[in-house]
A and B are shown apart, each in its own frame.
Chain A
Amino acid sequence: MAEMTGNINTEVDHLFRKTYGKLISSLMNKYGATRLESIENAVMEAYYKALKTWPYQGKPEHPQGWLYRTAQNAFIDIIRKETRSGETDLTDKHTSDLSIEEHLVDESVSDPELKLLFLICHPYLSKEDQLAFMLKTLAGLGDREISRALMIKQATIKKRLMRARRTIKEKSIKFEWPGEHELQSRLKMVHRSLYLLFNEGFYSTHQDLWIRKDLCLEAMRLCKYLADHRLSNTDTFALMSLMCYHISRYESRLDDNNNIVLLNEQDRSKWDPYFIKLGHHYLEKSASSSEEKSKYQVEAFISAQHCMAKNIESTNWKLLKLLYEKLYYFDKQDLVLLNLVIVHLHLDEITEAKVLFDNISINNFNSNKTIYYMVGVELYSRLKDQFQIELLLERAISSSGSEKESHFLKDKLEKIKRSNQH
Chain B
Amino acid sequence: MKEFMMIFIGGDYETNDMSPEDFQRRMNLWNEWVEDLKKDDIFIDGRALKNQSKMVESTGLSTDGPFVETKELVTGYFLLKAKDLEHVTTLTKGYPDYDLGGKIEIREIQAF
Contact = CB atoms under 8 A, between A and B. Distances in A.
Interface of A: 5-6, 9-10, 13-17, 19-20, 44-45, 47-48, 50-56, 140-145
Contact of B34 (A19, A20, A56): A56
Given A55-B27, A56-B46, A47 B20 contact: yes
7 contacts: A10-B25, A16-B20, A47-B18, A48-B13, A48-B23, A141-B20, A145-B19
A181 to B, nearest CB: 36
Nearest to A54: B27
A47 B26 CA distance: 11
A140 B20 contact: yes
B19 A14 contact: no
B98 to A, nearest CB: 16
A56 B48 contact: yes
A51 B23 contact: yes
B13 A20 contact: no
Contacts of A16: 20-21, 23-24, 27
Contacts of B22: 142
Interface of B: 13, 15-28, 30-34, 45-48, 76
Contact of A55 (B13, B20, B21, B34): B34
Contact of B18 (A14, A15, A50, A142): A142
Given A48-B15, A56-B46, A13 B28 contact: yes
A23 B31 CA distance: 23
A141 B21 contact: yes
Given A50-B27, A51-B23, 11 more contacts: A6-B32, A10-B28, A17-B20, A44-B18, A45-B15, A56-B48, A141-B21, A142-B20, A142-B21, A143-B17, A145-B19
Nearest to A18: B20
A297 to B, nearest CB: 35
Contacts of A13: 24, 28
Contacts of A47: 18, 20, 23
Given A56-B46, A56-B48, A20 B20 contact: yes
Contacts of A45: 15
A333 B23 CA distance: 40
A145 B21 CA distance: 9
A51 B30 contact: yes
